[in-house]
Amino acid sequence: MADCSRPVTHGTEKNSLKMKGISLERNRTDAVKSTMNKYKAWERAKKAWRESKSLLITIFILTAVRSAIADWNDVPTGSMNPTIVQGDRVFVNKLAYDLKVPFTTWHLAQWSNPKRGDIVVFFSPVDGMRLVKRVVGLPGDRIELANEQLLINGRPLQYEPLPADTGHDVPPDKDGLRVYAEETAGGMPSHPVTILPQRPALRTFGPVTVPAGKYFVMGDNRDNSNDSRFWGTVDRNRIVGRATMVVLSLDHEHYFEPRWHRFFTGLL
């Protein structure tokens, strides 16, 4: 007689094997789908690169040129009034003194140094912002300011009054009376400066001697300029280039109206 107490497992084993087979097949299908999705993503990335390669290379070349050869700089403040006014965009010749590795301050070659009177663009030693100022002191120079009169190596610069309309492009402010004068010194081109007699300012300074490899810079707006009188000299390797021209000018006080007469004017 057959033993009826023994459990019957054949059907259960078949179902278990069937489920394992389905699970393995599903895993293989998922693996294939995953591989196909990765392949499609790779093909899409290659297609996007092919379509955008020229544009990306062009952008890289243009930014490299701006970084190492030429650029323009917006001037939002009045520290260089009346030579440069708020809303001017100045052309910066980055090959004026040297050639740098793009996007760095590393020098590949150097053929000149800033001269007294040059308007330079540089990275601020305080916060790294790009600033525009005039070089008044070279390495070894002795700089002094005595009641608004600049002295270089003990020799006072000469000042001649200029008419009030010298600053006709300077936006109105709360500094009161403006006085314009032409500043002249040996070895430096004559240029206008602004004096604000009603504004509290540092009108007497120094004397100080400019260290080797550094430059003393000031704004032409002598009574409203944050410059070497306050934070010291500028390292040679922080100087980006020389500002040589106003490329365009927009009047921020009158809905960014173009100042056409300032377009493409040289800077002294």
Catalytic (active site) residue 133 = yes
Q: Decide the pairing of beta strands 149-152 and 239-251.
A: unpaired
Identify the residue with better confidence: 187 or 249.
Answer: 249
pLDDT bin (cut points 50, 70, 90) of residue 1 is very low
Residues 265 and 246: beta-carbon distance below 8 Å = yes
- Structural domain total, the chain: 2
Pair (211, 81) in one structural domain: yes
Overall average pLDDT of the 248-255 stretch: 88
Is residue 27's pLDDT more than 50? Answer: yes
Is residue 8's pLDDT more than 90? Answer: no
Q: Indicate which residue of 79, 225, 228, 249 is catalytic.
A: 79
pLDDT bin (cut points 50, 70, 90) of residue 23 is low
Catalytic (active site) residue 33 = no
Q: Indicate which residue of 133, 225, 228, 249 is catalytic.
A: 133
| Nearest CA among 91, 108, 93, 82 for reference residue 195 | 82
Does a structural domain hold residue 168? yes
Could you list the residue range(s) of the whole structural domain that residue 34 is in?
Answer: 11-68
Is residue 68's pLDDT more than 90? Answer: no
Show Cβ contacts of residue 50 under 8 Å, excluding neighbours closer than 6 positions.
none
Length of the chain: 268
Residue 20: the pLDDT is 58
CATH number at residue 262: 2.10.109.10
Residue that terminates a domain, selected from 19, 47, 68 = 68
